[in-house]
Amino acid sequence: MTIRTRFAPSPTGYLHIGGVRTALFNWLLTKRLGGQFVLRIDDTDSERNRPEALTPILEGFRWLGIQWDEGPEVGGPHTPYFQSGRLELYQKAAISLLEQGLAYPDYMTKEELDSDRKLADNQKRAYIHRGPLRDNSKDDNLIRYRKNPAPIRLRIPENKTLLVDDLICGRCVQDSNLVGDPLILRADGRALYNFASVVDDISLGITHIIRAREHLSNTYAQTVIFEALGTSMPKFAHIPVVNEPKSKKKLSKRDMAKFVTVEVRAKLNSVGFTDEEISNRDDLNPATVAYYRELGYLPEAIVNYLARLGWSLDDKTEFIPIPEMIAHFSLERVNDSPASFDPDKLFWLAGEYMKILPMDKKIAGCLPFLKRANLIQDDPNPQTRALVESIISAAGERIKLFSDIIALARPFLKSTIEIQPQAQEKFLKTPGTAEMIRSFLEKVEMANPFDSTTLDHCLHEFCREKDLKPGKLVQPIRVALTGTSVGFGLFDTFAILGRDESLARIAAAILISG
């Protein structure tokens, strides 16, 4: 029997980092063992459900390369893969439990429940719900329900030890007397997540349920449902949660707004997002995948990073391409304790993947960022493309994120450069600089051909003649050519700019300098 796993997101409008990791572990195990990975949409809560909120999730997974074998848009033998389209299934299952006396209708009002809960709270004990009809005869319960439909609750058996054999947590036990009777179906026939989830897992033939640790305590009640529905238990693996950076708190979907700090906002601004867009889109947030995509992170880096968050290949390997990951992934090497999300390490990994990215892919990745920054046209002509290529090539390993191209390429794609005030002060305004640049300009004008080798030779010769350290000349020239004191090799810079533009910029700098 092949394994079947699933990931069941609710359509929230964004793909959460923690969720992706859970999905990834499911996917990796499935690929490793050769089975099907199912995407199922948990949209039972109609209030929260917006159809357009699904697209970002699907797009996110596709971008990451995590392809589902069954689910929305790809279909499969168990269509539909939306819980909203499977309501009948849950209703049937709930009624069948009712008929067997394993569930009962509960006519308690919200007010009654609330006051019971409050009472328990005041007495500092856990509230364990037991509806009045749980021990009533099943026939009578059925008659009452038919006459007057009410919410249906599962009848948790008394004095039993509920057992979850977890692939990661080991054998976990819970006294059934400490588990309240969970609601499984609302009076209007809509199922609740914990019930719908089990019914679907059974109907979809899910063999391994890999999910976040926070679901472990739900699992005890779910084991009762599995048993009541007459199927064998799937294998459970409750993976540790992802914590906030440098924190012991869960990286939660609630309260995500706090991650949009001034630094985050500045990064988003720098790739062209307005403050308005940032506040209107809830996926422009470091807790979502879209954020990293918009900043130009390579998807492979995110997958690699997330896989290593809680899982390790061995005692030293950090860089693990996806095929390798699939070949070696195992639940045995998933850690037992929560892990904090570390943006710094993700950033480093993004750079590592960028280093090995072929040039054509690098160009393809950079172009959209240049367009968004209005540095090139929508449909760049061959000359522009060639220029961009030479810039990317000269930038080398300075590009870690695609968005890095914006700052790096700006001096070459704009006809007028802005000279940074500090750079101007430090490298152009110092005494004697104007004269030095002027005489260097005279020498450079003679350079023929105007290429790296000749210019390199020319500069070193000049420095020897004037008894100058190359650095003393290079920095002012760099500022003259690009407006900043950091950038790529000076001769690459000359070569990209070309003779005329280079000479013009140096001449302009002499005026500023002198």
Site for RNA in 275-334 (CB under 7 A): 308-312, 314-316, 318, 332-333
3-class SS of residue 449: coil
CB nearer RNA, residue 218 or residue 384: 218
Name the pairing type of β-strands 242-243 and 339-340. Answer: parallel
Q: b or e along 151-162 (b: 16 or more beta carbons within 10 Å of the residue's beta carbon)?
A: bbbbbbeeeeeb
**Options 68-76, 247-255, 289-297, 360-368: segment touching RNA (CB under 7 A):** 247-255
**Options 58-66, 172-180, 202-210, 320-328: segment touching RNA (CB under 7 A):** 172-180
Residue type, 21: R
Out of 52, 276, 344, 378, point to the residue binding RNA (CB under 7 A): 344
> At its nearest, how many Å lie between RNA and the CB of residue 306?
10
**Contact between 345 and RNA per CB under 7 A:** yes
**Contact between 356 and RNA per CB under 7 A:** no
Q: How far apart are CA 276 and CA 15, in angstroms?
A: 21
Q: How far apart are CA 94 and CA 293, in angstroms?
A: 42
Out of 50, 118, 146, 246, point to the residue binding RNA (CB under 7 A): 246
**Contact between 96 and RNA per CB under 7 A:** no
> At its nearest, how many Å lie between RNA and the CB of residue 275?
28
Q: Which residues within the stretch 218-237 sit at the binding site for RNA (CB under 7 A)? A: 218
- Taking phi over 0 as left and psi of -120 to 50 as alpha, with beta for the rest, 289 belongs to alpha
> At its nearest, how many Å lie between RNA and the CB of residue 386?
22
> At its nearest, how many Å lie between RNA and the CB of residue 38?
15
Interface mask toward RNA for 459-478; x: CB under 7 A: -----------xx--xx--x
> At its nearest, how many Å lie between RNA and the CB of residue 173?
7
CB nearer RNA, residue 65 or residue 245: 245
Q: How far apart are CA 305 and CA 299, in angstroms?
A: 10
CB nearer RNA, residue 191 or residue 229: 191
Residue type, 463: C
Q: Which residues within the stretch 106-145 sit at the binding site for RNA (CB under 7 A)? A: 109-110, 113, 117, 124-129
| Residue carrying the six token digits 């391409």 | 321
**Options 70-78, 176-184, 293-301, 443-451: segment touching RNA (CB under 7 A):** 176-184
**Contact between 378 and RNA per CB under 7 A:** no
Q: How far apart are CA 107 and CA 149, in angstroms?
A: 9
Q: Which residues within the stretch 21-40 sit at the binding site for RNA (CB under 7 A)? A: none
**Options 64-72, 278-286, 343-351, 501-509: segment touching RNA (CB under 7 A):** 343-351
3-class SS of residue 186: coil
| Residue carrying the six token digits 């999730």 | 57
Out of 4, 6, 7, 10, point to the residue binding RNA (CB under 7 A): 10
Q: Determine which helix (DSSP H) or strand (DSSP E) holds 89, and give its type and residue range.
A: helix 87-99
Q: How far apart are CA 20 and CA 299, in angstroms?
A: 12
**Contact between 336 and RNA per CB under 7 A:** yes
Q: Which residues within the stretch 407-446 sit at the binding site for RNA (CB under 7 A)? A: none
Helices (H), 309-432: 322-328, 343-355, 359-372, 382-395, 404-413, 421-423
Contact 203, 77 (CB under 8 A): no
Out of 379, 397, 467, 500, point to the residue binding RNA (CB under 7 A): 397
CB nearer RNA, residue 84 or residue 384: 84
> At its nearest, how many Å lie between RNA and the CB of residue 339?
3
- Taking phi over 0 as left and psi of -120 to 50 as alpha, with beta for the rest, 444 belongs to alpha
Q: Encoding tokens for residue 323? A: 């095929």
Partner residues linked to 59 by β-bridges: none
Out of 51, 75, 132, 396, point to the residue binding RNA (CB under 7 A): 396
Q: How many residues bind RNA (CB under 7 A)?
A: 88
Torsion angles phi and psi, residue 161, rounded to 5:
-95, 115
CB nearer RNA, residue 371 or residue 499: 499
Q: Taking the CB of residue 477, how many other CB atoms lie within 10 A of it?
A: 23
**Contact between 351 and RNA per CB under 7 A:** yes
**Contact between 187 and RNA per CB under 7 A:** yes
Out of 160, 250, 438, 443, point to the residue binding RNA (CB under 7 A): 250
> At its nearest, how many Å lie between RNA and the CB of residue 322?
17
| Residue carrying the six token digits 């709930």 | 94
Q: Which residues within the stretch 199-218 sit at the binding site for RNA (CB under 7 A)? A: 213-218
> At its nearest, how many Å lie between RNA and the CB of residue 457?
12
| Residue carrying the six token digits 């422009």 | 284
CB nearer RNA, residue 70 or residue 404: 404
Q: What are the distances in angstroms from CA 100 to CA 40, 139, 155?
A: 29, 9, 11
Contact 161, 173 (CB under 8 A): yes
Q: How far apart are CA 78 and CA 299, in angstroms?
A: 30
CB nearer RNA, residue 96 or residue 176: 176
Q: How far apart are CA 225 and CA 371, in angstroms?
A: 54
Name the pairing type of β-strands 235-239 and 208-212. Answer: parallel
> At its nearest, how many Å lie between RNA and the CB of residue 492?
7
Out of 36, 44, 207, 285, point to the residue binding RNA (CB under 7 A): 44
